[in-house]
Amino acid sequence: MAERRSSKLIVHCICSTRLDRGGPSLSATQLLQSHRQAGQEGWLVCPDHDYDSREHAQVDTVCMPSTESLMATVPRSKIRAFHLHGIWDLFLHDAVSVARKHGIPYVISPRGMLEPWALSQKKWKKRLAWWLYQRNDLQRAALLVATATSEADQFQRLGLVNPSVVVPNGVPLPAEDFDSIGRPSSDSAGVKTALFLSRIHPKKGLLMLADAWARVRPEGWRMLVVGPDQDGHLLEVQRRAEELGLTSTWEFRDAVYGPDKRRIFLEADLFVLPTFSENFGIAIAEALAYGLPVITTDQAPWEGLIEHRCGWRVRADVLGISEALSNATALTRADLQTMGQRGSQWVRNEFSWPTIARRMIEAYDTYVP
């Protein structure tokens, strides 16, 4: 009898699992773990794996530093496919080369790295890489995985006509009774908290948020900015906040993980991600899971915020963010919590990791020989 495909390895390849490298660092390992729980065997290949992170503590899997070391350890017959998370990096191109050499199908999740804003960064370097190897690597993939329809549409615009599917990221769900743990009561008169929790990077729109906050200056609110600094952007944001006279209402904290991250979500009243580009936006899903209404831009694929009445999706400019802040901060805490409960239910229904893992396994079964 032929060996069951789920007993063969899906080898997940990613450049880094360090959490300051962005959402894919965590979502790739969580997808692997969810696959294993669903019966699909998987290993990780990563040259920069964060073995000590509490966020990765539940990922019980083998990690290899390179695809070459993997092939020296595992017979070709035991490998079902490589699944690459990201593009551009030569480590991932080398993984494609190894896959071709051994006749192994490969799947690519570009993770937003083909979005227009991303392509405009280091444009000439990426254009050279596109013609040297990246376009060919993408075109020869057995499957391309988008996390939103807008990303799949971008594949088409770039001439990538090989099979593609849309499978969003999953989100770890908090305990069922999270609403009663740590969140201020709906009749509390205390200062309300708007939370930004993501990388402090130019594409996340914090300078735009500072300008919008200065326009609105919502009474009885503070802005909490939490996340790892990227390329010194934190200092730029802090200077803008000081210039605009926001230092009494804006607070900056370093990245938090595990129980500390949970506590910050539970103590907030509103989540804001004024991004210029997201292929998914895992921080939005996490905030919704914790019952927070969300403000984001039309550059994030979260049209459902409007449909499910749990947030605002506005133009990625100061006026759009200002209008959303005015509307959100005028609501009572009880109204905000009602919105958040609708968002939490939506995420539980559609973005749990078991649901997402099942959809990805179905895609492998359909497109990977």
pLDDT digits (tens, 9 = 90+) for 179-191: 444 566 655 668 9
Edge-to-edge, what's the strand order for the sheet holding 164-166? 63-64, 42-45, 9-13, 79-85, 106-109, 143-146, 164-166
Which of 46, 51, 35, 62 has its CA nearest to residue 13? 46
241-251 pLDDT tens trace: 999 999 999 99
Instruction: Compute the half-sphere exposure of residue 73: CA atoms within 13 Å on the CB side of its CA.
Output: 13
3-state secondary structure 51-70: CCCHHHCCCCCCEECCHHHH
Per the prediction, the chain carries an average pLDDT of: 89
- In percent, how much of the chain has pLDDT > 90? 67
pLDDT given at position 189: 64
Q: Which of 19-28, 155-164, 338-347 has the lowest mean pLDDT?
A: 19-28
Provide CB contacts within 8 A for 79, sequence distance 6+.
Answer: 8, 9, 11, 102, 104
Which of 35, 61, 112 has its CA nearest to residue 276? 112
**Which spans in the chain are helix H?**
23-37, 67-73, 90-101, 116-120, 123-129, 135-139, 149-157, 206-216, 233-243, 258-267, 282-289, 304-307, 318-329, 333-350, 353-367
pLDDT given at position 124: 93
Copy the structure tokens of residue 177. Answer: 């009774």
- Torsion 57-301-113-316 (CA) sign: negative
For the cut 50, the answer to whether the pLDDT of residue 289 exceeds it is yes
Q: Which of 21-25, 69-73, 126-130, 137-141 has the lowest mean pLDDT?
A: 21-25
**198: DSSP letter:** S
34-84 pLDDT tens trace: 888 888 888 989 888 765 554 544 555 778 888 898 999 999 999 999 999
- In percent, how much of the chain has pLDDT > 70? 90
Q: Are 120 and 145 in contact (CB under 8 A)?
A: no
pLDDT given at position 294: 98
For the cut 70, the answer to whether the pLDDT of residue 222 exceeds it is yes
Q: Are 342 and 308 in contact (CB under 8 A)?
A: yes
Q: What is the pLDDT confidence band of residue 176, given thresholds at 50, 70 and 90?
A: low
pLDDT given at position 19: 72
Q: Which of 167-171, 240-244, 272-276, 294-298 has the lowest mean pLDDT?
A: 167-171
Most confident of 106-120, 199-213, 278-292: 199-213
pTM of full prediction above 0.85:
no
Higher pLDDT, 176 or 70: 70
pLDDT given at position 333: 94
Q: What is the pLDDT confidence band of residue 4, given thresholds at 50, 70 and 90?
A: low
For the cut 50, the answer to whether the pLDDT of residue 177 exceeds it is no
pLDDT given at position 1: 32
Q: What does each C-alpha distance from 279 to 32, 265, 300 come to in angstroms? A: 20, 22, 7
Which of 4, 2, 92 has its CA nearest to residue 41? 4
pLDDT given at position 56: 47
Domains assigned to the chain: 5-170+352-367 (3.40.50.2000), 178-350 (3.40.50.2000)
For the cut 90, the answer to whether the pLDDT of residue 17 exceeds it is no
pLDDT given at position 184: 60
| β-bridge pairing 270-273 and 294-297 | parallel
323-365 pLDDT tens trace: 999 999 999 999 999 999 999 999 998 898 889 999 999 999 9
